[in-house]
Structure 1
């Protein structure tokens, strides 16, 4: 991966070990908990955030530090490295916009700096699978143009389906009203949401956990293509048991063999809460010679 340096941020929910192993530059977003601010992933774990939320705490999040973004970009510019920054949805964080602004600043000092910034309009492992595919391409020696083209394709065709265990957390983030959260809690209502053009969009409300999992399968069948040969992403809000159940249901229904599973990170989890479950897959196949499922 020496020809093209990949950069991403903590919105991707890939394990930090994966990013280190593949020499990906990492930009952490910020998490504030009990009056202290932390760099996501490197200074605070998702598990710690979920435990705090279960104990009634309300973490807050903010975009990546402009200083950190400039540090990463300047290092690449000084090394004359070509870079691709695969960024968390601009509709969910200001990090993408900040990165674009700082890129212009760095270009003033290093006019030959070659950096493309891609707004994935994706989140969690939807974002993560896009980064994963870019890594695979880079490992084969693909050109920057090829990686950018494929990354944009994945960004445009990545489906997100997710549900939360407790509407109260979405209420705190302004996603649902207090009344909806209260009634939903009483009736065991589980909202089913997706991401469109980078924004969280409610699809429907379903009563009961089992029914919402079944509905996710129905929507996967409607929206997905060649699911059996895809790498399916599953992320969870510190609820591996439900994630594994969902994996079994997907395997049984579609014959899928390739999965990438990880915990929903602090930045997204602070708003969706413990018990969140999210599924990610493509709604159109790329013509790439790289098979993401391998």
Structure 2
């Protein structure tokens, strides 16, 4: 029996990949005032971005233990060997909650065959791990082989992204009010990444949209120049800015000759914090030896 891959909605993978590889998704909770939504199920990201542009504020909440219990009980009863690749522990309590629930469920279902992997990643950077695991599972690879590859991806996946408006990072507590105001006045576009500990880190500040995209391409060279970028699957996602995403794709194609891309809109769980206009690129900084 093939290994089953599950994840949560922060992986931001396109529906065709999720359906094509039979990847089950546990939705993250998104709240607007007193109303609760399920990311990707009862809240469309386009609606979220429209509301955010109109001044609405969304917040996110952890996946409740009851949701994990339901999914993990299904796994136990099916007898499937399963890997749950989850949102970075540096940005959410999802991983810790999943592990606690898994351990508790094993007391009731000792046969539960479930490994929980901390992606230390977010959005399509996280999604590329899920995608790779699903490809390997479909090819009949063992759980041990998949876990070994995931460990490599966790350590070598790069996230390079920029936000269009610092106001959204201010709302999420990532920058001060003064930084958001001054940044807006000066057209400052921050470049951020997610280091190996899975947290969020500012890298540089660049003035102007075109310059920030050019700098993101340069950082790809600096961090991935020895990783055979041309033959990688490159992840790109956007906060309701498909034109910006396609421009970034064309720049990467021209610079590195890449042909394989996963491109998608940023879902509501991540978009609630990053806001509309966000652009991200994801790649490996080293080539896996098993490839």
**Structure 1 match to 2:280:** 278
Return the TM-score normalized by structure 2: 0.97
**Structure 1 match to 2:7:** 8
1:25–1:72 CA contact under 8 A, matched in 2: no
1:43-82 paired onto structure 2 within 5 Å = 43-82=42-81
**Distance (whole Å) between structure 1 residues aligned to residue 146 and residue 27 of structure 2:** 23
Deviation at 1:17, TM superposition (A): 4.2
1:170–1:272 CA contact under 8 A, matched in 2: yes
**Structure 2 match to 1:111:** 110
Moved over 4 A (4+): none
| Structure 1 unaligned spans of 5+ | 290-294
**Residues matched between the structures, number:** 288
Q: Which moved more, 1:17-26 or 1:127-136?
A: 17-26
**Structure 1 match to 2:261:** 259
| Structure 2 unaligned spans of 5+ | none
**Structure 2 match to 1:292:** none
Deviation at 1:117, TM superposition (A): 0.5
- Cα deviation, 1:140-189, whole Å, max 9, x if unaligned, reads 10001001111111111100000000000000000000000000000000
**Distance (whole Å) between structure 1 residues aligned to residue 14 and residue 247 of structure 2:** 21
**Distance (whole Å) between structure 2 residues aligned to residue 283 and residue 220 of structure 1:** 8
**Structure 2 match to 1:203:** 203
Return the TM-score normalized by structure 1: 0.96
1:7–1:86 CA contact under 8 A, matched in 2: yes
**Distance (whole Å) between structure 1 residues aligned to residue 253 and residue 235 of structure 2:** 13
Q: Please give the secondary structure, in 2, of the residue aligned with 1:280.
A: strand
**Distance (whole Å) between structure 2 residues aligned to residue 134 and residue 163 of structure 1:** 27
Deviation at 1:15, TM superposition (A): 2.2
Q: Please give the secondary structure, in 2, of the residue aligned with 1:199.
A: coil
**Distance (whole Å) between structure 2 residues aligned to residue 270 and residue 113 of structure 1:** 34
**Distance (whole Å) between structure 2 residues aligned to residue 119 and residue 189 of structure 1:** 33
Q: Which moved more, 1:62-71 or 1:122-131?
A: 62-71
**Structure 1 match to 2:25:** 26
Q: Please give the secondary structure, in 2, of the residue aligned with 1:26.
A: strand
Q: 2:233 pairs with 231, 234, 252, which one?
A: 231
**Distance (whole Å) between structure 1 residues aligned to residue 214 and residue 14 of structure 2:** 28
Q: Which moved more, 1:221-230 or 1:10-19?
A: 10-19
1:191–1:203 CA contact under 8 A, matched in 2: yes
- Cα deviation, 1:216-273, whole Å, max 9, x if unaligned, reads 1111001012111111100000000011011111111111111110001111111110
